[in-house]
A and B are shown apart, each in its own frame.
Chain A
Amino acid sequence: MMYGLLWRALPGPAWFRALLLLALFVAAVWVCFEWVFPWFSEYVPINDNTVEAHAP
Chain B
Amino acid sequence: MRHAHADAGRRGGGAVSATIGVVGELLITAGVVLGLFVVWQLWWTDVQAERIHSQVLAELDWPEPPVEVPSGSSVEGPAVAGEHRDEPPAVDDAAFAEVFAQFYVPRFGADYVEPIAEGIDKAEVLDRLGIGHYPDSAGPGELGNFAVAGHRTTYGRPFHRIAELQEGDAIVVRTENTWYVYRMSSSQIVWPNQVEVVSPVPGVRPGEPLPELTERFLTMTACHPMYSAAQRYIVHAELDYWAPVDEGIPAELLDAGVQIQAVADDDAGVR
A interface list, Cβ under 8 A from B: 1-3, 29, 32-33, 37-38, 40-42, 45-56
Contact = CB atoms under 8 A, between A and B. Distances in A.
A47 B36 contact: no
Given A37-B41, A51-B198, A46 B192 contact: no
Interface in B134-155: 134, 149-155
B193 A49 contact: no
A46 B228 contact: yes
B122 A48 contact: yes
Interface of B: 18, 21-22, 25-26, 33, 36-37, 40-41, 44, 120, 122-123, 126-127, 132, 134, 149-155, 159, 190, 192-195, 197-198, 206, 221-223, 227-229, 232, 234
A51 B195 contact: yes
Contacts, number: 82
Nearest to B196: A51
A14 to B, nearest CB: 20
Contacts of B228: 46
Given A42-B122, A47-B223, A55 B193 contact: yes
Which residue of A1, A2, A3, A54 has the most chain B CB atoms within 10 A of its CB atom?
A: A1
Contacts of A47: 122, 151, 153-155, 223, 229
Contacts of B151: 47, 49
A52 B192 contact: yes
Nearest to A3: B25
A48 B153 CA distance: 10
A1 B123 CA distance: 39
A27 B232 CA distance: 37
A56 B26 CA distance: 34
Q: Which secondary structure characterizes the binding site on chain A?
A: loop
A50 B136 CA distance: 13
B149 A50 contact: yes
A33 B150 CA distance: 22
Given A37-B37, A51-B197, A45 B190 contact: no
B221 A33 contact: no
Contacts of B36: 29, 32-33, 37
A51 B149 CA distance: 9
Contact of B40 (A3, A32, A49): A32
B229 A46 contact: yes
